[in-house]
Amino acid sequence: GAGVSQTPSNKVTEKGKYVELRCDPISGHTALYWYRQSLGQGPEFLIYFQGTGAADDSGLPNDRFFAVRPEGSVSTLKIQRTERGDSAVYLCASSPTGEGGEQFFGPGTRLTVL
Amino acid sequence: AQSVTQLDSHVSVSEGTPVLLRCNYSSSYSPSLFWYVQHPNKGLQLLLKYTSAATLVKGINGFEAEFKKSETSFHLTKPSAHMSDAAEYFCVARMDSSYKLIFGSGTRLLVRP
């Protein structure tokens, strides 16, 4: 079956622009997560959705970052007024349930802010 | 606070020789522990997980890891490296009944022919 997919695979933008990153989780998975992986580091948690609601957004670095999951499936991570420090690989994962389940990761979106 | 330390940023071995990737965790509780592998342009793949059952955990592709509570370690091993094992490996912890994964900084494994 299809795994987690993310689009685009690469995104280059200019400082100050707005970007949207999309995640398609595995069908039927109720939990969805976003992580950010900066160069040379391990992924860091950003936000967790259970169904349509953000159950934990404590990892979002500031109010320029926002994520939605309106129908409980596809999720979009939105970054306003991008900064060079936002350059990273953004990873999405999904799991059948929220607690204790294995998280299945997508290939990531590499965001470069010039 | 929970944290994961991977002691080596790079490990280089010859094909056919043993692999040892070191990981230590810091937690007030006994966490669930995982090893993930990341090949270039591929998603993170789960190699194995420890969830308080047997302390020696066997994973895919011949990898295994041993949970040692007294040493707060969860080192990853493989008896004989293959060229296809070259990748980035992450040691990961999760608090019981939680969803948040705490990643180490990663170890890049290089396999020489």
Give B20's strand partners: B77
Nearest CB to A105: which of B32, B43, B99? B43
The pLDDT mean for chain A works out to 94
Which of A15-24, A38-47, A93-102 ranks highest by mean pLDDT?
A: A15-24
Q: What is the pLDDT of residue B51?
A: 80
- Tell if the CB–CB gap between A102 and B46 is shorter than 8 Å: yes
Q: Which residues of B touch A107 (CB under 8 A)?
A: 41-43
Position A74 pLDDT exceeds 70: yes
Helical residues (DSSP H) of A10-106, grouped into ranges: none
What is the 8-class DSSP label of residue A15? T
**How far does the CA of residue A57 sit from the closest CA of chain B (Å)?**
11
Q: Name the nearest CA neighbour of A85 among A61, A49, A51, A63.
A: A61
Distance, in Å, from the CA atom of B52 to the CA atom of B69, rounded to the nearest integer, reads: 10
Mean per-residue pLDDT, B23-50: 87
* Helix, strand counts (H, E) of chain B: 0, 12
How much of chain A, in percent, has pLDDT values that exceed 90? 88
Report the distance separating Cα A91 and Cα B64, nearest Å: 26
Residue B111's DSSP bridge partners are B13
> Strand, coil or helix: what is B97?
coil
User: Residue B27: what pLDDT?
Assistant: 72
Partner-chain residue, chosen from A31, A44, A107, that has the shortest CB–CB distance to B42: A107
Q: What is the mean pLDDT of chain B?
A: 91
Taking the C-alpha atoms of residue B104 and residue A3, their distance in angstroms, rounded to an integer, is 24
| Closest of B4, B62, B8, B58 to residue B33, by C-alpha | B4
Residues of A with CB under 8 A from a CB of B: 3-4, 9, 31, 33, 35, 40-45, 48, 56, 91, 93, 95, 98-100, 102-108
Q: Which of B44, B101, B105 sits opposite A45 (nearest CB)?
A: B101
For residue A8, say if its preceding peptide bond is cis, omega within 30 degrees of 0. yes
Task: Report CB contact under 8 Å: B43, A104.
Answer: yes
Task: Please choose, from the candidates A58, A14, A56, the residue with its C-alpha nearest in 3D space to the C-alpha of residue A31.
Answer: A56
Q: Nearest 5°: CA angle at A33, between B49 and B85?
A: 40
Provide, as residue numbers in chain B, all residues whose Cβ is less than 8 Å from the Cβ of A109.
none
Residue type, B35: W
- Residue A111 scores a pLDDT above 70: yes
pLDDT of residue B106: 96
Mean pLDDT in residue range B49-75: 91
B98 compared with A27, residue with greater pLDDT: A27
Is pLDDT at A55 greater than 70 in this prediction? Answer: yes
For position A98, what pLDDT does the model report? 67
